[in-house]
Structure 1
Amino acid sequence: MTKYIGFDFGGTTIKPGVVNEKGEIIEKTAFPTPKSRDTLLDSLMKTIEDYQQRYQISAIGISSPGIVQSDGRLMTAGAITCLNGVNLKPILEKQTNLPVSIENDANAAAIAEHWIGAAQGVNDYLCLVLGTGVGGGIVINGQIYRGRHGMAGEFGWMVTKNFSLTENMENKSLNATSAVVDGLCLRYTKAKRQIKPRFRRVKDARIIFKAASDGDKLAQSMLEEFYHDLSVGLIDLMACFDPELILIGGGISASTEFADGLTTALSDMKTRHKSLYRIRTELDIPVIPAKLSNDAGLIGAVYQSFHK
C-alpha cells in the first residue's frame, strides 16, 4: 500500500509520521519545534531521509499553523515565526524529489475529520484546534472555506473581552485566553509567579487539571476562566456560521475533564444569551471532541498530499 510522510507543525512540537492511503498511521514520532529556520529544515530532512530508507514514499504533506497561501507560502506560521514568509513547498520538493502539499493545521484537522473522523457525512461544520494557539477550520457545503487571502478560520485572533486602548488587542483574543499553551498554561504560570517568582513555566495542561483536582484554588479559577472565555468564542461562532457541528481538536480534546468542564460552561453561557436561549429547542449545535484528537493534523496533511 502507498505510504506518505506527514508533518504536523506546532509551536511547541513537530509531529511527523508515515500514513497510508486509508488514513492509518503506520508510525509516528515527535520532536521539539526548532527556533531557527535552518535547524527546522535540517530536522525535516533527517526525518524524511529516515522514513525513505524504510518505506516507499510517494508524497509529503505538511500541516502548519498560520495563513497558508495556495502556492504553499506561509504568510504567517503562528508561533513558528522563523517560517513567516517562507515557501517550504519548492524547498522540500527540490531536496526530496517528491511532491509536497502544505495546509493550514486547522483545515487539515477538519479535512481529516470529514475523511475518517467525527464529521463524516456532515457538510457544514467548524473545527477548532486548541494547542499553542487557537486554529480554526471552516467547512461549508463540504468544502474548506479559505477566504480571499487564505486567512479564514483564524479564530484565535477573535477579540472576545474588553481591552484597554493602551494595550495590544490580541491580549484579549482567543489565542491569549483559550489556547492551551499560550493561553491557559501561560496564564496559570503568570498567576503562580505572582506568588512564586521562580515558578517554572507550565506547558502541559494536565499539570493544571491535576492541581485543580488536588484542591489548588488558583488552578480551579484559571480553568473556570478558560472554559468561560472559550464558551464566549463558541457562541460567537454559532451566531456567525450556524454550523451543523463544532469539533474541538488538539491534545486537550481527549481529556474527559476538559469535555465536562466545557460542556457545563457552554450550557451556562447559553442561558445568559437571550436570543440563543429563546430558540434553544430549535437550535441544537453539538460541540464535541474531534475523533482523531492529536492525530487529525497529521492525517489531514497526508490526505491533502494525494487529493490536491
Structure 2
Amino acid sequence: MGRLTGGDPSLLRRINSAVVLHALRAAGASGTATGGGPDDGGGCAGSASLTDLTRVTGLSRPTVEGVIDGLADSGLVVEVPAEEGGVRRQGRPARRFRFRAEAGHLLGIEIGAHRVAAILSDLDGNVLGSIVREVSEKASADERLERLRTTVADLLRRAGVARFSLRAVGVASPGVVEADGTVHLCTALPGWTGLPLGERLRRSFRCPVLVENDANTAAVAEHWKGAAAGSDDVVFVLAGLSPGAGSLIGGRLHRGFGGAAGEIGALHLLGQEAAPEEVLSTTGEPLNPLDEAQVAHVFSLARDGDARARAAVDRFVRRLVHDTAALVLALDPEVVVVGGWAAGLDGVLAPLRDELARYCLRPPQVTLSLLGEAAVTTGALRLALDHVEQELFAVDSTVTTRRASH
C-alpha cells in the first residue's frame, strides 16, 4: 500500500493528504455523494468530485489534484466512473473519487481461558467475518498461540484476504498488560505471566500489533457501538470469577501508570476478605477447582432453590457490587456497563443501582452490555482501527511530533 499518507515526505503534503483523505472517507461513510457544484450533474454514492473536495477542504484545485494523484498511487483512493446522467452541462463528466476501504484490513483478537476469537474488517471498520475456536484452559502459552495462529489463518482464508494486507492487529488478553504488549501478570492462563505477547505476535503478523487488557477493550467497544455509545465517561465491568474493569475518561481509555487500572478483583485483599473460591462455596470448603463450569453449577443450583447456592450467589453479587462501587466513586462515570459471563445473573443490576444510589451524589446509569461475547473482540478491532486512523488522519500529532524534534 506504500506510505499511508501518499508517499510525499513534506509536512505540508502530509497535512493536505490527511485533509483530502478524511473528506473522501467521510463521503464514503455517509453512503452518499458529496454535493456537487452547479456544473456537476450528480454523483456516485460514497464518492466526491474535485469540486466537492476543493469546497470541503478549502484547498486549491491544483493542490487537491496533486494530492489525489499521490493517494491513488498509494492505493488509498480510486477514481470511480461517472453515473449515467452525471454529466456536466457542458464538457466532460466530472471526475469523482472514493476512499478504498478495501486497500487494507484490520484484525481484532480475543485470547481467553476457553477460547480464541477473531474479527476481520476493512479500513472503515466494516466487519467482513469472524471466528471462534475453543481451546483448553490448561493449554500452554505456545499451544494457545498456535491455536490462535490456525484460527486466524482459517478466518483469512474464508474471507479471501491475504495476510500481508493486514495493516494493524488489536489483541485482547486477560491480565495486566504493559505498554509494549508484555503480560506483566496473569493468573487466568498458564504460562502467561511475563509473556512478551506483543513481540511474539508481531513476528507472526509483521504489522503493528496492539495488546490490551480484555476489560479495557470491552470498554472501548461499548463506547464505540454498544451500551455506552454517546457517553465519554464510562466504566465497563467484566464480571467473572475475578472481576476486572475498564474505564474511559473523557472518551480516552484509562490504563493507569502500569496498565493495572481497573483490577477490582484484588480489592478484597485490602480487607483480607474471603477469596473468590470461598465466596462461591456451598460446602464451607473453598470451591476447587475454581472454574466457570463449577460456578455455573452453583448458579444452576441457586436457580433451582438450593439455599446454600443462593447464599453463595448473593455473596458473589455483593462482592461484585462493592468492587464496582469503589471504582465508580473514584471515577464518577456517566455510564456503568456490566458484561462478561456473570452478567446474565438475575438480580445483578438492581443491587448495583441501589448501592451506587447510596454513595454517589449523582448515580450513573447502570446497564448490561449490548455486545455480549463480541465486546472484547470488537474493542480489539477498534484498537487496530484507531491505530490506522492515527496514521491516516492525525495531522495534529504529526505537527506536534515534528515541532518537538526541532
Same fold (TM over 0.5): yes
Q: Which residue of 2 aligns with 1:210?
A: 300
Q: Which residue of 1 aligns with 2:96?
A: none
* Contact 1:160 1:232 (C-alpha < 8 Å) held by counterparts: no
Distance 1:25 1:133 in 2: 33
* Contact 2:235 2:328 (C-alpha < 8 Å) held by counterparts: no
Unaligned runs of 5+ in 2: 1-101, 388-406
1:222 equivalent to 2:312? Answer yes
Quote how far apart the aligned CAs of 1:49 are: 2.4
Distance 1:133 1:23 in 2: 33
Matches within 5 A, 1:72-111: 72-111=181-220
C-alpha change, 1:67 and 1:39, in structure 2 (3 Å) is same
1:156 equivalent to 2:247? Answer no
Matches within 5 A, 1:276-295: 276=359, 279=361, 283-295=362-374
Q: Which residue of 1 aligns with 2:382?
A: 303
1:191 pairs, out of 258, 282, 287, with: 282
- Counterpart amino acid of 1:294? E
Post-superposition CA distance 1:114-168 (Å, at most 9, x none):
11111111111111112342121121111011111111111212127742xxxxx
- Counterpart amino acid of 2:292? K
Q: Which residue of 2 aligns with 1:166?
A: none
Q: Which residue of 2 aligns with 1:31?
A: 134
Q: Which residue of 2 aligns with 1:67?
A: 176
* Contact 1:107 1:136 (C-alpha < 8 Å) held by counterparts: yes
Partner of 1:261, secondary structure, is coil
Q: Which residue of 2 aligns with 1:19?
A: 120
C-alpha change, 1:7 and 1:78, in structure 2 (3 Å) is farther
Q: Which residue of 1 aligns with 2:108?
A: 6
Q: Compute the RMSD of aligned alpha carbons.
A: 2.9
Post-superposition CA distance 1:205-232 (Å, at most 9, x none):
5433332222211111111111122222
Distance 2:203 2:256 in 1: 29
Distance 2:147 2:284 in 1: 34
Q: Report percent identity of matched pairs.
A: 27
Distance 1:146 1:217 in 2: 40
C-alpha change, 1:101 and 1:227, in structure 2 (3 Å) is same
Distance 2:233 2:269 in 1: 24
C-alpha change, 1:85 and 1:126, in structure 2 (3 Å) is same
Distance 2:374 2:316 in 1: 23
C-alpha change, 1:161 and 1:216, in structure 2 (3 Å) is farther
- Shifted more, 215-224 versus 231-240: the winner is 231-240
Quote how far apart the aligned CAs of 1:301 are: 0.8
Q: Which structure would you say has the larger RCO, counting Cα contacts within 8 Å and 6 or more residues apart? A: 1
Matches within 5 A, 1:121-132: 121-132=230-241
TM-score computed with the length of structure 2 as normaliser: 0.61
Larger radius of gyration: 2
Partner of 2:337, secondary structure, is strand
* Contact 2:170 2:381 (C-alpha < 8 Å) held by counterparts: yes
Quote how far apart the aligned CAs of 1:13 are: 1.4
- Counterpart amino acid of 1:285? P
Q: Which residue of 1 aligns with 2:323?
A: 233
Quote how far apart the aligned CAs of 1:74 are: 1.3
Quote how far apart the aligned CAs of 1:295 are: 1.1
* Contact 1:65 1:135 (C-alpha < 8 Å) held by counterparts: no
C-alpha change, 1:16 and 1:202, in structure 2 (3 Å) is closer
- Counterpart amino acid of 2:373? N
- Counterpart amino acid of 1:53? R
* Contact 2:222 2:370 (C-alpha < 8 Å) held by counterparts: yes
